Amino acid sequence: MTQYVLMFVGSDEWRETSSKEEIARGYAAIGKWWDELSANGVLKGGEELAKGPGTATTVRRVNGQMKVFDGPFIESKEQVGGFAMIEAPDLDEAIAIAKSWPGGDVEVRPIVVH
Amino acid sequence: MAAVFREEAGRLTAALVRSLGNFDLAEECVQDALVSALEHWPREGIPPNPGAWLMTTARRKGIDRLRRESRYQEKLAQLEEAPVSTRSAFPDDRLDLIFTCCHPALAREAQVALTLRSVAGLTTPEIARAFLVPEATVAQRLVRAKRKIVDARIPFRMPEREELAERLGEVLAVLYLMFNEGYLATGPRGAHDRDLAREAEWLVGLLASLMPGEPEVLGLQALMRFNLARADARFDAQGRMILLRDQDRAKWDRRMIDDTFAIVGRFLTMARPGPYQLQALIAGAHADAKTWEATRWPDILRSYDALLALSDSPIIRLNRAIAVWHTIGAEQAYVELFPLAEQLDRYHLFHATRGELLRALGRPDEARDADRRALELTENPAERALLQARLG
């Protein structure tokens, strides 16, 4: 078994363009996905990140000193909005789980075992 | 020797990936064995069972490599215990190998390089020469791809049934790109260079023998073979490109064309049409015509219509316009080019085709402008020579 992190990527635009009902339906679908995979033992954990890159702070090493900056590491309309840790036998299985995600785009990364 | 390598390299790699469970290591061992064969065979002759010779050598190389890494004790035992394999003694796992090399999680150039290297046994310098890119670039692509297979755990197996159609499409796209790269070769090649178009044809033939029930595989095989059958007529003695209409059809490989129609017969009886089969039908209609004038354009136009219904693209529409020209007329064809102007403005063949049509319509000045634009957009020396000749 390999552990993968699924990083959920998207922009916040859909919140502004969707109705309250649509947003509620979206969260319900995500809740169902989360519960089912947790019950299967596939999902090992994960969180939704606070809304929007506006809440992000980046600490960068600049000339050997750690400096604090407002904003995400990479400025982009698309941001990581949450993550999940899953366990899968191989990448195909992890991709299949990522495809079943009811939200937006997903980056799949294997975890290094030391 | 090239033929032996091509036949054996994929089998060996596949068998070793299976027993070692490590793509990177298996691939390195096979390359070591091939290098070793390059040293020994020219002096000692090709051994009676080259597959077994290579397998024994690859395993010995593998054992050497593993000894250096204590973590792999377990694998080492596996490798030492495996029976000495001969061609018939180990199953053909090349299909798993092909699907792994063409996994969608790998970039397209990496898929192509990896397939050539692992399945067809080309060396890194051979791949670099075939694509006219520096060897270091190919080496880096291969290293990255193999590392990803290992680290991200890309599985060594055929995809599940529900994934198969999509994944087979990926494999065919890799082979199609490989073929085009060779067939439309954009630069001079040495006599010893491996011809990508023929490698791709060999690979699709292998795929067809391993998956005989897939009509699109046969479609791509037929498409490649119809084109290869005309290869000798495509350039003159000075290396200048000769257009289809001006080719000496006596130079076409009639036997290959006839054999390929048998492949067409096989996919037609399966009655599951697809884009490669339709393109094969178009190439077949050209190959079948005794003269340019005898070309069955209405059949070709029908195939293009079916192709458009399956996957609409401006390139297909451009090619279809040529069939429209010869079936209906130049005026109608010219009208159909109009909506493509924006999307294909940077595609040289759009302007070259426009130039031909304008000339047919008796508008030589505009035709020259179109040819000039086409010339600006292509680097291919053969195509440039053709356009320059047209411009006078």
DSSP state of A89: S
Residue B199 and residue B178: Cα distance in Å, rounded?
8
Cβ contacts of residue B144 below 8 Å, gap of 6+? B110
Beta bridge partner(s), residue A82: A8, A48
Q: Do A92 and B159 touch (CB under 8 A)?
A: yes
Indicate the angle between helix axes B23-44 and B2-20, nearest 10 degrees.
Answer: 150
**The A79-88 sheet, strands edge to edge:** A43-48, A79-88, A2-10, A105-110
**Mutation for testing the B interface, residue in A91, A95, A112 having most B CBs under 10 Å:** A91
> What tokens were used for B212?
């005989």
Residue A112 and residue A94: Cα distance in Å, rounded?
15
**Mutation for testing the A interface, residue in B148, B153, B154 having most A CBs under 10 Å:** B153
Q: Do A92 and B151 touch (CB under 8 A)?
A: no
Residue B156 and residue A90: Cα distance in Å, rounded?
10
Residue B72 and residue B62: Cα distance in Å, rounded?
11
Question: What's the one-letter identity of residue B242?
Answer: I
Q: What is the mean pLDDT of chain A?
A: 92
Of B153, B160, B163, the CB nearest to A91: B153
Greater confidence (B24 vs A6) lies with: A6
Given this model, what pLDDT does residue B87 score?
46
A41 lies within 8 A of chain B by CB: no
Scan for tokens 């032996």, then name that residue.
Answer: B4
Given this model, what pLDDT does residue B76 score?
63
Minimal C-alpha gap between A109 and chain B (Å): 7
Chain A residues within 8 A of B105 when measuring between CB atoms? 91, 95
Q: Do B153 and A90 touch (CB under 8 A)?
A: yes
Minimal C-alpha gap between B167 and chain A (Å): 11
Q: Do A92 and B152 touch (CB under 8 A)?
A: no
Given this model, what pLDDT does residue B132 score?
81
A36 lies within 8 A of chain B by CB: no
Q: Do A92 and B155 touch (CB under 8 A)?
A: yes
Residue B148 and residue B73: Cα distance in Å, rounded?
23
Question: What's the one-letter identity of residue B387?
Answer: L
**Mutation for testing the B interface, residue in A92, A95, A107 having most B CBs under 10 Å:** A92
Residue B382 and residue B379: Cα distance in Å, rounded?
9
In three-state secondary structure terms, A3 is: strand
Residue B112 and residue B104: Cα distance in Å, rounded?
12
Q: Do A90 and B151 touch (CB under 8 A)?
A: no
Return the closest-CA partner of residue B157 out of B23, B8, B52, B6.
Answer: B23
Residue A110 and residue B343: Cα distance in Å, rounded?
39
Of B103, B151, B155, the CB nearest to A110: B151
Question: What's the one-letter identity of residue A29?
Answer: A
Residue A7 and residue A109: Cα distance in Å, rounded?
8
Given this model, what pLDDT does residue B108 score?
92
Residue B380 and residue B352: Cα distance in Å, rounded?
13
CA angle B104, B105, B110 (to 5 degrees): 85
What residue spans of chain B are helical by DSSP H? Answer: 2-20, 23-44, 50-67, 73-81, 94-101, 108-114, 124-131, 135-151, 161-183, 196-210, 215-229, 254-270, 275-288, 297-310, 314-327, 330-337, 348-360, 364-377, 381-391
Given this model, what pLDDT does residue B88 score?
45
For residues B229 and B252, the answer to whether their CB atoms sit within 8 Å is yes
For residues B370 and B351, the answer to whether their CB atoms sit within 8 Å is yes
Strands A57-62 and A65-70: antiparallel
Q: Can you say whether the dihedral through the CA atoms of B244, B181, B165, B203 is positive or negative?
A: positive
Residue of A nearest to B167 (CA): A92
Q: How far is CA A39 from CA A35, A43, B59, in A?
A: 6, 8, 44
Q: Which residues of chain B register pLDDT less than 50?
A: 85-89, 186-188, 191-192
> What tokens were used for A31?
């809740």
> What tokens were used for B235?
């350039």
Q: Do A110 and B163 touch (CB under 8 A)?
A: no
